[in-house]
Chain A
């Protein structure tokens, strides 16, 4: 893997922002152990996973707290890790346009700078907690861009999470009204994933398939259980898994590997017209 820390001005956010990017390149392990290392050539492109952080986090989390580089190297998968503050991956009513940044500007930016496939079938998004919601949100916002999305311990039922935070059941750093205008009225809007998916279904859009995984001792487990049954009733292409575990990096470091095994990966670079 080549590791790139990129800082650039984002016209969408109107400030400088950081991303971390991994691009598969032959490493000492592959060379010493005679593993496959012929995948980086002129014109080679890579399947790409946009990997989203949770609340309180930023673009450095995944690489600091998991072994994402090692897993992505095994699968020859490029990884792009952006920052979205505590925005819940929205275009904030009073704040920055993270959703537009992540679904429009960032793909164009990384596709220009790095050897990343532009095809839907090679473009994935995943995240944890707030980023689990974000992964499904991005994918359903632009179903023509992503073929699959994955939520780990995701805050996938926004209304339920809002109510749980309001009641003090769980914590959260969200400035709800800055993000949504009036947080009381998000049900049925595009911020409500169930409503958004239903809207896309009515549009006969080809929907990205969804993977959800949650720890059975996680405070967000009831949210995931309820989302599972709702999504299944809606006929969504959903793969749901649960394991013993709580809302922590042990869970995400382990089960991001399930995500990679579930994604339609080539385990190789792909050829693509420039």
Chain B
């Protein structure tokens, strides 16, 4: 894997953006074991997973706290890890346009720079907690861009969060800045229903959550809504809490599902 730390000016955020990208290249293992790799073939294009951090985090989280580089190397998939502050990956009412950045500017920009496949079936998005919400928010925003989306311990029903320690610790200014009104597209249950009514072809959805996770009910609520709307969702639960042990373990299941 090439580990690429990127910084560039983002017109949609109107500031410099920072992200980490992994691209499969010959590893020391490949070299030692004389594995034949085709990374540098002329028309080689890599499938790509956009991988989103949670609240309080940034683009360095996944590579600092998990083995994502190793897992992605095995699957020969490129990984893009952007930063989105505590925006919940929305176009904030009082803040930057992260939804536009992640779903429009970033794919267009990176496709000009890196050898990524542009096919829907090779484009994936996943994340944890706020990033699990973000993965579904983005996937349901640009249904034509992503083949699959996965949420790990996702804050999928924001109405369930208000009273949680997690929610209470978040600076009020941020909660107010995002804009989660019940009837807006930022309410995933609403947005899902809207997309079903529009008869859009939805990305395939995958959810997983620890049964001891305080966000468990937020996931269940989204899942019930999906069943009500007859949207198929691959849903798995495992013993576990809201921590990196869970995400490091179960991001592997996500990669197997992709």
Contact = CB atoms under 8 A, between A and B. Distances in A.
B6 A3 contact: yes
B7 A3 contact: yes
Nearest to B20: A5
Contacts of A6: 2-5
Contact of A115 (B1, B2, B40, B112): B112
Contacts of B3: 6-8
Interface in B1-52: 1-9, 11, 14, 23, 25-28, 31, 39-40, 42-44
Nearest to A18: B3
Contacts of A42: 111-112
B164 interface: no
A7 B69 CA distance: 12
A257 interface: no
A3 B8 CA distance: 6
Contact of A27 (B9, B109, B115): B9
Given A6-B4, A26-B11, A28-B9, A40 B112 contact: yes
Nearest to B44: A112
A9 B28 contact: yes
B113 interface: yes
B114 interface: yes
Contacts of A113: 2, 4, 23, 25, 114-115
Given A9-B25, A41-B112, A112 B39 contact: yes
A27 B31 CA distance: 39
Interface of B: 1-9, 11, 14, 23, 25-28, 31, 39-40, 42-44, 109, 111-115
B192 to A, nearest CB: 32
Contact of A9 (B26, B109, B114): B26
A243 interface: no
Tell which of A8, A31, A115, A274 has the most Cβ of chain B within 10 Å.
Answer: A8
Contacts of A40: 112
A11 B31 contact: yes
A44 B5 contact: no
A109 B8 contact: no
A4 B31 contact: no
Contacts of B25: 8-9, 109, 113
A25 interface: yes
B9 to A, nearest CB: 4
Given A6-B2, A8-B3, A113-B23, A25 B115 contact: no
Where chain A touches its partner, the secondary structure class is mixed
Nearest to B111: A42
A108 interface: yes
Interface in A26-72: 26-28, 31, 40-42, 44
Nearest to B14: A28
A23 interface: yes
A1 B8 CA distance: 6
A2 interface: yes
A262 interface: no
Interface string A195-232: 00000000000000000000000000000000000000
A108 to B, nearest CB: 6
A9 B3 CA distance: 10
Interface string A99-129: 0000000001100111100000000000000
A85 B40 CA distance: 26
B36 to A, nearest CB: 12
B223 to A, nearest CB: 39
Contacts of B7: 2-3
A2 B44 CA distance: 23
A108 B40 contact: yes
Interface string A9-20: 101001010000
Shortest Cβ-Cβ A-B pairs, 5 listed: A2-B8, A8-B2, A5-B5, A7-B3, A27-B9
B6 A4 contact: yes
A123 B115 CA distance: 20
Contacts of A3: 6-8
A42 B1 CA distance: 24
B112 A44 contact: yes
A115 B2 CA distance: 16
Contacts of B5: 4-6
16 contacts: A2-B6, A4-B5, A5-B4, A6-B2, A8-B1, A8-B2, A9-B25, A9-B26, A9-B31, A11-B26, A14-B31, A42-B111, A42-B112, A113-B4, A113-B25, A114-B113
A274 B115 CA distance: 11
